[in-house]
A and B are shown apart, each in its own frame.
Chain A
Amino acid sequence: MSATQETVSAGGARTARYFIYAALIILALVYLLPLYVMLSTSLKSLDEIRGGDMLALPRDPSVAAWVRAWGEACIGVSCVGIKGYFWNSIKMVVPAVLISTLLGALNGYVLTKWRFPGHKLMFGMMLFACFIPFQAVLIPMARVLGTFGLSNSTTGLVIVHVIYGLGFTTLFFRNYYEAFPDELVKAAMIDGAGFFRIFWRILLPSSGPIIVVTIIYQFTNIWNDFLFGVSFSSGTSSPMTVALNNLVASSTGVKEYNVDMAAAVFAALPTLFVYVVAGRYFVRGLMAGAVKG
């Protein structure tokens, strides 16, 4: 009797599983549709685009639009493509991500292993940075950057991103280090390691998953940021996102959809790359922090 029951329930489970997979596939297709339109449009010629069928595969795929977007498209008045802005973004993202991750790790280390009176309040205040609407800080920040002579510079943008990234990076590392055994720090102290030695030799080498999480999170956020980019930079110092906007929004001449789409793909490539390389650590690290935090 129990055998028949098992078969029935196994059959039920299988049906449910088919249903779940079907739903997941449909949702994945819906999600991927814009990407498909982007890619296929960027490979079509302008005539074909004007032909109308957005979902059709390109009849005669060509990377001409990609070449144009990279090196010839007009952004504002200069027609040298988006490559300069792409490098602007790289020059902004790499230091901003590295500095904010490192400082977040140091903060997390101090907040969990070198507790001082008021450490909870301090952490609470740092968390605030995660919830401040960025629009609210634009004007004061512009003023601060102006005072230090950093307006319209990549350095200025790096500083802004480091400051507003610290809340999240500190949160990540604090929760991760909270679960890190205190006894290891004590043992290292008795062994004669100082504050920074313990950090470099004991904690950081054990922080792989959370470093990956933080880097992905910070990289995506900073690369995709538009608000700070458009507020604190102008002209040729703009990051990629601002340039993309300027390219798409420029109203002179013919609207080159294929070039716009190719530029958008360029803008999305680095974050895609980071996810593909490090994505599987992402969920793992997030969970590790979340469960024990």
Chain B
Amino acid sequence: MSFLEIKDIRKKIGNNEILKGINIELEKGSFLVLVGPSGCGKSTLLNAIAGLLPPSSGDIVIDGQVVNDLHPSRRDIAMVFQSYALYPNMTVEQNIAFALEMRGVEKAQREAAVKQVAKTLQIEHLLKRRPSQLSGGQRQRVAMGRALVRQPRVFLFDEPLSNLDAKLRVEVRAEIKALHQNTHATIVYVTHDQIEAMTLATKIVVLKEGMVQQVGTPAEIYGRPANLFVADFMGSPAMNMLKGKVSGANGQQGIALFGNDGVRVAMPPSVTTSLPDGKDVILGLRPETITDAGLVDPQARATARIEAEVTMIEPTGSDTFVTGKLDGATFTARTRSDVHVELGQKFPFAFNLDKAVVFDPETTNRIE
């Protein structure tokens, strides 16, 4: 049975419908990441779960209990804010203990709880300091401590890493992941960063303009995106979208790419329906499925070798991203870093179609 249920949540502010009927179910101990571009309603949804912004309609159920009319403090949730929201006039110790104090927990018990959380987060030496005397990473840790000490049913994180610098972000991200693995807490986490979503989540919900685009595991979202938006939003560099037409030469369905006299590739195995000849489609290929000919996956069943002009080379150290151009269409390939490639060169790219996906340009949905 699901632990957290979000049933048909709608939120209107003025004439603006921010959430248009959201349905999500979450099992106990899972890590749900709400991801989407800014303005997609993910923070509004989180605030609705917290009870800070009541939805216009719909139900929020935690552990079988409808919490719609419960005050935030009675929902047994804890929230970590983007700005950390540490009380500036209190010491770290008082910050962490505040929620317990408000609940009338005895002082001795409070102190023991604070001590234990401080030990877990390794902030024992900071307990007497004020938030203004802490670095960004330390503040972040105190904010997590404030949530942990309550031992709530659900943790809510509102873009907790966006105020940290890049290096610290990766560190704290790993800490949050470890925290989830060790405590098996149920977490709802909001971010606009798709890498955070991929690395942390056990379940991702992609939102756009107040509507759920897709719900799934990181692998599902990445490998089988439900529509063009999800495909484009998740993954960096973005998925290559190549326009093509269905062509059924030799009794086998395929896709003609790069204009009329371009290249014909086999229909990817992800498509099982039979499509009418001449139908416009969009072929989606992750950069890592286009490589230099030497890196072709020997297990791949359907591959295509296509020569294209090289227009950009971006070495990242571990790999090199090569942009190819053919008949006005460009695509990004991920090649080995030691591959020999030059600008303007006609380079043989290997397309692995096993993991390719096909979209209908009219509905923008993926064709299965």
Q: Which A residues lie at the B interface, using CB under 8 A?
A: 181, 183-184, 186-193, 197, 201-202, 205-206
Contacts and interface: CB of A to CB of B under 8 A. Distances in A.
B246 interface: no
Given A189-B72, A190-B72, A190-B77, A184 B102 contact: no
A186 B43 CA distance: 13
Nearest to A181: B83
Pick the most buried of B51, B71, B73, B77: most chain A CB atoms within 10 A of its CB. Answer: B73
Given A190-B50, A190-B77, A191-B102, A184 B87 contact: yes
B312 interface: no
A188 B94 CA distance: 12
B352 to A, nearest CB: 46
A183 B89 CA distance: 15
A202 B72 CA distance: 17
B83 A183 contact: yes
B88 A186 contact: no
Contact of B78 (A181, A188, A190): A190
B198 to A, nearest CB: 27
B44 to A, nearest CB: 13
Interface in B56-71: 71
B134 interface: no
Contact of B52 (A189, A192, A205): A189
A191 B81 contact: no
A187 B88 CA distance: 12
Contacts of B301: none
A192 B81 contact: no
A197 B85 contact: no
A190 B79 CA distance: 8
Given A186-B52, A205-B89, A193 B81 contact: no
B85 A187 contact: yes
B82 interface: yes
Contacts of B71: 189
B337 to A, nearest CB: 43
Contacts of B82: 183
Contacts of A191: 73, 98-99, 102, 146
Interface string B124-148: 0000000000000000000000100
A186 B51 CA distance: 10
Contacts of A183: 81-83, 85
A279 B89 CA distance: 23
B81 A186 contact: yes
A192 B79 contact: no
Nearest to A203: B89
B79 A187 contact: yes
Nearest to B150: A191
Contacts of A190: 50-52, 72-73, 77-79, 99
Given A183-B82, A189-B72, A192-B103, A202 B77 contact: no
Contact of B89 (A181, A192, A193, A206): A206
Given A202-B87, A206-B89, A186 B103 contact: no
Interface string B91-116: 00000001100110000000000000
Contacts of A186: 50, 52, 72, 79, 81, 85
Interface residues of B, number: 21
B73 A192 contact: yes
Interface of B: 50-52, 71-73, 77-79, 81-83, 85, 87-89, 98-99, 102-103, 146
A281 B51 CA distance: 38
A184 B103 CA distance: 18
10 contacts: A183-B85, A187-B79, A189-B71, A189-B72, A190-B52, A191-B99, A191-B102, A193-B98, A197-B102, A205-B89
A185 to B, nearest CB: 9
Contacts of B99: 190-192
* The 5 residue pairs across chains A and B that have the minimum distance between CB atoms: A192-B102, A192-B73, A205-B89, A191-B99, A183-B85
A193 B102 contact: yes
A54 B99 CA distance: 67
Given A183-B82, A189-B72, A192-B99, 4 more contacts: A181-B83, A181-B85, A188-B87, A206-B88
A64 B83 CA distance: 63
Contacts of B50: 186, 190
Pick the most buried of B52, B85, B88: most chain A CB atoms within 10 A of its CB. Answer: B85
A206 B132 CA distance: 12
B298 to A, nearest CB: 53
A202 B95 CA distance: 11
A192 B50 CA distance: 12
Contacts of A184: 85, 87-88
A187 B156 CA distance: 11
A16 B319 CA distance: 62
A187 B146 CA distance: 10
Contacts of B72: 186, 189-190
Contacts of B83: 181, 183
Contacts of B102: 191-193, 197
Nearest to A193: B102
A202 B102 CA distance: 13
A190 B99 CA distance: 8
A168 B146 CA distance: 37
B264 to A, nearest CB: 56
A19 B365 CA distance: 75
Contacts of B81: 183, 186-187
B265 to A, nearest CB: 51
A59 B123 CA distance: 69
A197 B102 CA distance: 9
A53 B82 CA distance: 70
A192 B51 CA distance: 12
A195 to B, nearest CB: 11
A191 B103 CA distance: 8
A61 to B, nearest CB: 49
Pick the most buried of A183, A188, A191, A193: most chain B CB atoms within 10 A of its CB. Answer: A191
Contacts of B87: 184, 187-188, 201-202
